[in-house]
Amino acid sequence: MGEILRKKRAVRHPKQGKKQPITWTLIKNQKQLIMMSVPLMLYIILFAYVPIWGWTMAFQDYKPAKAFTDQAWVGLKHFKFLFTDDTFLRVLRNTIAMSVINLILGFVTAIVLALLLNEIKKVLWKRTVQTISYLPHFLSWIIVTGIVATSLASDGIINDMLMKLHIIKEPILWLSEGKYFWGIVGASHVWKEVGWNTIIYLAAIASIDPALYEAAEIDGASRYRKMYHVTLPGIKATIVILLIMSIGHILEAGFEVQYLLGNGLIVDWAETIDIFVLKYGLAQGNYSLATAGGIFKTVVSVTMLLIANWTAKRLGEERLL
């Protein structure tokens, strides 16, 4: 047997005289997939990386009528202004607050709804509830904010219901007092997105081995115990990955809902960084300051994503990188 093995090792195919690098071998074997990905790569480069050249405006007193070589370079002047401007600091506060509210409410409600839908045994009823819950996702924010504004009007359904239940004595002007605005935005996001966000959790739950539920039932676990000890650990990896991605968008509080529901009475509570960039960049023509605000948001988002990913790695959880 040993002699036969030695002879087999001694015989070498003529084309195998020189071992090819594994990388080039993989590229050759997957050239069809690589060619299919070229249009996508070109799209990403054209629309995601080429516009980064425009970040140079943040370090200039940019004037649209002047050539690039004629622009006045001012260094970090606009960044310094951002962190000493009361308006931007207020906008930053609003953005972080609404982002955190949307993050917490979105995660908790989506996970809870997925757990509850998983416990429904009648397939027709389960599909009906799931369909109704994710239909608002397909509505534009124009329609959603119109529904919210109508419901929260002084003669809207919310005030009528609260008055009939004797919770309040007179209508509340919900969209005229800033202290209610953050909660309204959070509730609007939950109503619109909770059903859609449950889809990925339901898919993760479907991949859990049914034998685990059978073993838990044999041990006498109730439905709540099975949810806590089987379902939640089974989708923990999915929760961690989605949480990391959401933390990376911590300054993405939104634009449409704040812009459409906001008004002069609650402007101190409604403006976000996106609205700040729109106001200064287009309305006032201060493109350099608007670009600086956009760069700040991007840098913070990338930094938070890396920190969240590193923290997950240190804790031994799933991670993106």
pLDDT (tens digit per residue) in 49-88: 898 888 999 999 888 888 888 888 998 999 998 888 888 8
Distance (Å, rounded) from C-alpha 85 to C-alpha 62?
20
pTM passes above 0.85: no
pLDDT digits (tens, 9 = 90+) for 200-227: 999 999 999 989 988 998 888 888 899 9
Beta bridge partners of 60: 73
Instruction: Write the DSSP assignment of 14-78 as a string of letters.
Output: GGGSSPPPHHHHHHHHTHHHHHHHHHHHHHHIIIIIGGGGGGGGGGEE--TTS-GGGSEE-TTHH
Cα–Cα distance measured from residue 10 to residue 79, given in angstroms and rounded to the nearest whole number = 69
Read off φ and ψ for residue 61, nearest 5 degrees: -90, 80
> Exposure of 275 by Cβ count < 10 A (0-12 exposed, 13-18 middle, 19+ buried)?
buried
Contact between residue 292 and residue 58 where contact means Cβ atoms under 8 Å apart: yes
**What pLDDT does 10 receive?**
46
Mean pLDDT for the chain overall: 86
CB 309 within 8 A of CB 244: yes
CA atoms within 13 A on the CB side of 304: 17
pLDDT greater than 50 at residue 177: yes
The position carrying tokens 């990391």 is: 244
Whether residue 157 is predicted with pLDDT greater than 60 in this model: the reply is yes
100 close to 94: Cβ distance less than 8 angstroms: no
CA distances from 10 to 2, 6, 103 (A): 12, 6, 63
Question: Which residue, among 295, 264, 262, has the nearest Cα to 277 in the 3D structure?
Answer: 295
- Residues 217 and 212: their CA atoms lie apart, in Å, by 9
Backbone phi, psi, residue 25, to 5°: -65, -45
pLDDT confidence of residue 221: 87
What letter does residue 155 receive in the DSSP assignment?
A: T
CA 183/CA 189 separation, integer angstroms: 10
| 286 contact partners, CB below 8 Å, separation of at least 6 | 280
